[in-house]
Amino acid sequence: MSKVTLKEMAKVLNMSVSTVSKALNDSHEISDATKEIVKKFAKERNYQPNPLAKYLKLGRSNSIGVILPSIGNPFHSQIIESLHNYASLHNFNLIIMQSKDSEEIETKAIQTLLNQGIDGIIISPAHETSNIALLKKIHESTCPVIIFDRINYDLDTYKIGVNNFQSGLDATAELIKVGRRRIIILCGKNIGVTKERLAGYEEALKKNDIELIQEYIVYCNYNNSFEDFDNDLKEKIAVLMKDSSIAPNAIFGTTDTLTTRVLGILADLKIQVPNELAVIGFANTEIANSLNPALSTIRQPTAEIAALSVEMLIKLITNKKNRSQIDFQEFKLDSSIQLRKSTDVDS
Amino acid sequence: MSKVTLKEMAKVLNMSVSTVSKALNDSHEISDATKEIVKKFAKERNYQPNPLAKYLKLGRSNSIGVILPSIGNPFHSQIIESLHNYASLHNFNLIIMQSKDSEEIETKAIQTLLNQGIDGIIISPAHETSNIALLKKIHESTCPVIIFDRINYDLDTYKIGVNNFQSGLDATAELIKVGRRRIIILCGKNIGVTKERLAGYEEALKKNDIELIQEYIVYCNYNNSFEDFDNDLKEKIAVLMKDSSIAPNAIFGTTDTLTTRVLGILADLKIQVPNELAVIGFANTEIANSLNPALSTIRQPTAEIAALSVEMLIKLITNKKNRSQIDFQEFKLDSSIQLRKSTDVDS
DNA sequence: TTGTAGGCGTTATCAA
DNA sequence: TTGATAACGCCTACAA
């Protein structure tokens, strides 16, 4: 906390508080001579304006609340860093919260943010309908809310994510291209975006005259514990692999979590990647490259998503126009496919 | 930002502001009847006290500044999550900054935090001497500072990390135990903790009558770009591997960054892990398990480090005693070794 | 039990 | 060009 205040400086300098304040803020009302004296003195005393007082006066906290499923997930760190960078650029700071894919925890996170007096919220919702009424209310009356990443969410605001249908199609098409036609797709329960990715998957199959096999669509429950999640997934894969009539030869993981987890599981099951099972997944991190075999991924434009999210939110924060009048857009950015060893099949 | 204020509610309820305030704060001076009316009304209007005003009044912001080398590094996400959890527990919120291993960026980060009016700082310094004068000044006059993770840093305050000497010794001893005696150690330039880990490495060699080979001590410069860093490291390893008289058969990475990066490089060089080179590294994340081969690691007790850091800092924040009087301790927690495939050598 | 008044550190308005 | 004064929303003696 800063110690020296305007008042104290004013006293020592024999000026009024307002003069000192204006001098420091480079007001045109103040003479250059005075400005110089004040600024020099302020530097000497290492004056730091009290941001709380400032923001109280200005009616804003200059902080943005961010809610995403998990902070600890290594794959989220890049989006956090990007959001952080863009927020800093605009002199906003970030208060990050996590929902752990649970609506209740998400509710609390939202409450905490409101209690902190944030100026706006950027959220990747726990699931398609989580806290929708609450967020609607907040967006209408309290502060703007923006949806990112998990953009299948029924709130009338800016939404920033990728074209999930196309991404799913691309990933599947790539697997087909390297000769794999029996493709498992891993989906998250209640995660809207995986639905669209699944639709892309189905479209790719259709285009290539591949029959859709229901058993290949594997749903995973994010609310399970690590252990349950892994065991559940492991068993599902093991069962499929055992039945040679339908044994798959590729896996498409529709989220980063799903994809990394499945890699560990395949290693445990002693299944060779990519020879037995080619793998492609969603991931935003350089770590995909350090995996062995390096993981082929659908890469989301993290920086652009973060930049747009912050930009649109700040636009809404600074915009005094009634938010119900705004024509909100949905930004579906292009993802790119990054081929590495995990799909590098001997042809 | 919250909308309805005490004043407004007082007006509607025909009470004074202070009555309303006291009622909401459960003051004994207020009758139960009044309290009920006020609370009900506050809930109805969804009253949220303005935290800025509150904190201004109380002279504290209830927020903690955290500075670490990189937010985007997947390996830091767990420590961030842990810090976040413990801070939330105490009703503090976190403002996270990164230094990118650069003293200049660190300086800016510190300034930003001070401008935000944080109540204290938890920092893993960019390097052994970075911003030491500045932090000393802050710690003495402005707000308490605590060092974590990179605890080789000359500031008289609480420091929380692991026993790096022992950790280095353990990791090296494990490699020796599985029969590897020609062990490369990867160190960070100017990173104090890697020095101690190196000392542990040397001790382990000595105990096992293994000669120290200077070429095996490889320093990496964190300030390099990703690409330079990788190319540099790649070349150093390639050179060592080529000369069969000194070709190593194991690698010990003394930081998480170094370790993951080297995995990608080894894959590129088509060096088999663990058969040609066994690998052990520092890492705090479950992702080590998803690597193939799964990575053996020295695991730091992230949660404890975070808990202690937050606890000690809050102790200093709430403690009005002069900080120069305090007998600061250094907490060197035990790390644990987690063996996985990357050291599972055929014996 | 309730209300009045002052102040936390700023900024902004208006007067000098 | 400067200074006095009133906010911002909250808390808290102290007075009623």
pLDDT digits (tens, 9 = 90+) for B231-240: 999 999 999 9
Distances (CA, A) of B209 to B165, B182, B202, B248: 18, 12, 10, 17
Compute the distance between CA of residue B344 and CA of residue B339 in angstroms, rounded to an integer.
8
Interface test with B, best of A52, A135, A341 (most B CBs within 10 A): A52
* CB interface of A with B, residues 21-80, below 8 Å: 48-53, 55-56, 59-61, 70-78, 80
Look at phi and psi of residue B26 and say left if phi exceeds 0, alpha if psi is from -120 to 50, else beta.
Answer: left
Which residue in B48, B53, B118 is closest to A115 by CB distance? B48
A169-173, A264-268, A319-323: least confident range: A319-323
Asked if residue A300 lies in contact with residue A166, where contact means CB atoms within 8 angstroms, the answer is no
A304: pLDDT strictly greater than 80:
yes
Please provide the average confidence, as pLDDT, over all residues in chain B: 90
Q: What is the pLDDT of residues B176-208, one digit of tens each?
A: 999 999 999 999 887 888 889 999 999 999 999
Asked if residue B74 lies in contact with residue A285, where contact means CB atoms within 8 angstroms, the answer is yes
Asked if residue B305 lies in contact with residue B161, where contact means CB atoms within 8 angstroms, the answer is yes
Which pLDDT does position A259 carry in this prediction? 84
Residue A189: which pLDDT band, with cuts at 50, 70 and 90? confident
Compute the distance between CA of residue A219 and CA of residue B168 in angstroms, rounded to an integer.
42
DSSP type of residue A284: -
Helix axes A6-13, A17-24, angle to 10 degrees: 110
As a residue count, chain A comes to 347
What is the arithmetic mean of pLDDT over A65-93? 89
Show which residues sit with Cβ under 7 A of nucleic chain C: A 2, 5-7, 17-18, 21-22, 24-25, 29, 47-50, 53-54, 56-58; B 14-19, 22, 27-31, 33-34, 53, 56-57, 59
Q: Please state the separation of Cα A285 from the chain's center in Å.
A: 13
A141-155, A284-298, B18-32, B165-179: least confident range: A284-298
Q: Please state the separation of Cα B75 from the chain's center in Å.
A: 9
DSSP notation for A55-118: HHHHT---EEEEEES-SS-GGGHHHHHHHHHHHHHTT-EEEEEE-TT-HHHHHHHHHHHHHTT-
Annotate A301-310 with b (16+ C-beta within 10 A) or e (fewer): bbbebbbbbb
CA of A16 to C1' of C12 (A): 14
Interface test with A, best of B64, B78, B81 (most A CBs within 10 A): B81
B221: pLDDT strictly greater than 60:
yes
DSSP notation for B77-116: HHHHHHHHHHHHHTT-EEEEEE-TT-HHHHHHHHHHHHHH
User: Closest by alpha carbon to A230, among B260, B77, B286?
Assistant: B286
Q: What is the pLDDT of residues B37-75, one digit of tens each?
A: 999 999 888 888 888 888 888 888 889 999 999 888 777
User: Which of B77-81, B116-120, B306-310 shows the highest mean pLDDT?
Assistant: B306-310
- Nearest-CA residue relative to C1' of D5: A18
B257: pLDDT strictly greater than 80:
no
Residues of B in contact with A61 (CB under 8 A): 1, 51-52
Residue type, A164: N
**Structure-block tokens of residue B154:** 């000359």
Residues of B in contact with A226 (CB under 8 A): 286
Q: Is A210 helix (H, G, I), strand (E, B) or coil?
A: coil
Which class is domain B164-300+336-343?
alpha beta
Residue B104: which pLDDT band, with cuts at 50, 70 and 90? very high
Q: What is the pLDDT of residues A33-73, one digit of tens each?
A: 899 999 999 998 888 888 888 888 888 888 999 999 988 87
**Structure-block tokens of residue A342:** 């995990």
DSSP type of residue B60: -
Which pLDDT does position A109 carry in this prediction? 93
Start and end residues for every CATH 3.40.50.2300 domain found in chain A: 62-162+302-333, 164-300+336-343
Q: Is A328 helix (H, G, I), strand (E, B) or coil?
A: coil
Task: Check residues B309 and A269 and name the one with the higher pLDDT.
Answer: B309
Q: Angle B130-B136-B141 (CA atoms, 0-180°, nearest 5)?
A: 145
Compute the distance between CA of residue A171 and CA of residue B86 in angstroms, rounded to an integer.
40
Backbone angles phi, psi at A335, to 5 degrees: -95, 165
Compute the distance between CA of residue A216 and CA of residue A234 in angstroms, rounded to an integer.
14
Report CB contact under 8 Å: A80, B59.
Answer: no
Distances (CA, A) of B193 to B82, B92, B132, B258: 21, 29, 16, 13
The two beta strands, A120-123 and A145-148, are parallel
Residue A347: which pLDDT band, with cuts at 50, 70 and 90? low
Which pLDDT does position A283 carry in this prediction? 79
Q: What is the pLDDT of residues B34-46, one digit of tens each?
A: 999 999 999 888 8
Report CB contact under 8 Å: A56, B56.
Answer: yes
What is the arithmetic mean of pLDDT over B136-151? 92
Compute the distance between CA of residue A220 and CA of residue A232 in angstroms, rounded to an integer.
8
Residue B292: which pLDDT band, with cuts at 50, 70 and 90? low
Compute the distance between CA of residue B150 and CA of residue A27 in angstroms, rounded to an integer.
44
Q: What is the pLDDT of residues A124-176, one digit of tens each?
A: 999 999 999 999 999 988 899 999 999 999 999 999 999 999 999 999 999 99
Which pLDDT does position B212 carry in this prediction? 96
Please provide the average confidence, as pLDDT, over all residues in chain A: 90
Compute the distance between CA of residue B282 and CA of residue B168 in angstroms, rounded to an integer.
10
Which pLDDT does position A2 carry in this prediction? 52
Asked if residue A256 lies in contact with residue A75, where contact means CB atoms within 8 angstroms, the answer is yes
Asked if residue B290 lies in contact with residue A292, where contact means CB atoms within 8 angstroms, the answer is no
Nucleotides of chain D within 7 Å of a protein C-beta?
A: 1-14
Tell whether domain B62-162+302-333 is in CATH 3.40.50.2300. Answer: yes
Could you report how far apart the first and last alpha carbons of chain A are, in Å?
Answer: 65
Residue A1: which pLDDT band, with cuts at 50, 70 and 90? very low
Task: Check residues A256 and B251 and name the one with the higher pLDDT.
Answer: B251
Q: Which nucleotide, over all strands, has the C1' atom closest to the CA of A38? A: D2
CA of A57 to C1' of D7 (A): 8
* CB interface of A with B, residues 304-343, below 8 Å: 341
Q: Is A129 helix (H, G, I), strand (E, B) or coil?
A: coil
Asked if residue A188 lies in contact with residue A194, where contact means CB atoms within 8 angstroms, the answer is yes
Which residue in A55, A75, A290 is closest to B264 by CB distance? A290
Backbone angles phi, psi at A68, to 5 degrees: -140, 165
A92: pLDDT strictly greater than 50:
yes
B1: pLDDT strictly greater than 50:
no
Q: Which nucleotide, over all strands, has the C1' atom closest to the CA of B16? A: C3
CA of B12 to C1' of C3 (A): 16
* CB interface of B with A, residues 244-273, below 8 Å: 260-261, 263-264, 266-267, 273
A343: pLDDT strictly greater than 90:
yes
Helix axes A17-24, A32-44, angle to 10 degrees: 90
Element (H, E) at A241: helix A226-242
Q: How many CB atoms lie within 10 A of CB B239?
A: 11
Q: What is the pLDDT of residues B310-320, one digit of tens each?
A: 999 999 998 86
